[in-house]
Chain A
């Protein structure tokens, strides 16, 4: 079946540090890949996505590249801010073979804490 594995948190960084949150996946075919962000007390928001191999998704200074050869979609940001403190979820959508409710498969989430 499909699965997403994220690095365990919490990840604690100083402001302006470089961020990497690892995400690897298991899926057949060519899934779409997503990163969601959840700020405290809120629902999840789509941060970025990539729908085919070698695509790079980017938003708000965050980037992730769809690497089919390593089945990875690592999230990166060159300089984090205190306002980036949140929980980050990696997710995949399987190839459109139909059925199954069109569900996403989520990782367990990685909490990021950015300190001054």
Chain B
């Protein structure tokens, strides 16, 4: 069966520090991968998605970047965090079946102080 792992679960980082959040998927190949941010515990904002190794599409220009160095690995990064980067970050994957939705990871709670 397919599983998705996301870590760390919580992170407190000072303003100006770098960031690296990692997401890996098991049990499938060539998934579509997504990074979302959720502010104030409500709406979802799509940040990046990837349809293959090295292929990254950015939905919202910002202080963050994403990379996909391996088929089932998706990394969210920042060189210098801002206070406004605080939020709940969710990774998700999706196969190519039309009827299937996303499977989400358990999320990372990032607090920038």
Contact B46 A36 (CB under 8 A): no
Contact B98 A104 (CB under 8 A): no
- Give Cα A95–Cα B90 distance, bound, in whole angstroms: 24
Q: Is A49 an interface residue (CB 8 A)?
A: yes
Q: Which of B94, B105, B106 contacts A102 (CB 8 A)?
A: B94
Knowing A51-B99, A101-B32, A102-B94, say if A43 contacts B107 (CB, 8 Å).
yes
A109 and chain B: residue at smallest CB distance: B42
- Give Cα A36–Cα B105 distance, bound, in whole angstroms: 13
Among the listed stretches A14-22, A76-84, A85-93, which one makes contact with chain B, having 4 or more residues with CB under 8 Å of it?
A85-93
Q: Is A96 an interface residue (CB 8 A)?
A: yes
Knowing A43-B90, A43-B106, A109-B43, say if A102 contacts B101 (CB, 8 Å).
no
Contact B101 A42 (CB under 8 A): no
A contact residues, range = 20 to 34
- Give Cα A42–Cα B96 distance, bound, in whole angstroms: 25
- Give Cα A9–Cα B84 distance, bound, in whole angstroms: 25
- Chain B residue contacts of A89, Cβ below 8 A: 44
Contact B43 A108 (CB under 8 A): yes
Q: Is A34 an interface residue (CB 8 A)?
A: yes
Contact B41 A106 (CB under 8 A): no
Contact A36 B90 (CB under 8 A): no
- Chain A residue contacts of B42, Cβ below 8 A: 87, 108-109, 111
- Chain A residue contacts of B112, Cβ below 8 A: none
- Give Cα A103–Cα B41 distance, bound, in whole angstroms: 21
A-B contact pairs, 15 of them (CB 8 A): A41-B109, A42-B107, A44-B90, A44-B104, A51-B98, A89-B44, A101-B32, A101-B50, A102-B51, A103-B34, A104-B94, A106-B44, A108-B43, A109-B44, A111-B42
Q: B interface vs A, CB < 8 Å?
A: 6, 32, 34, 41-44, 46, 49-51, 57, 90, 92, 94, 96, 98-99, 101-107, 109
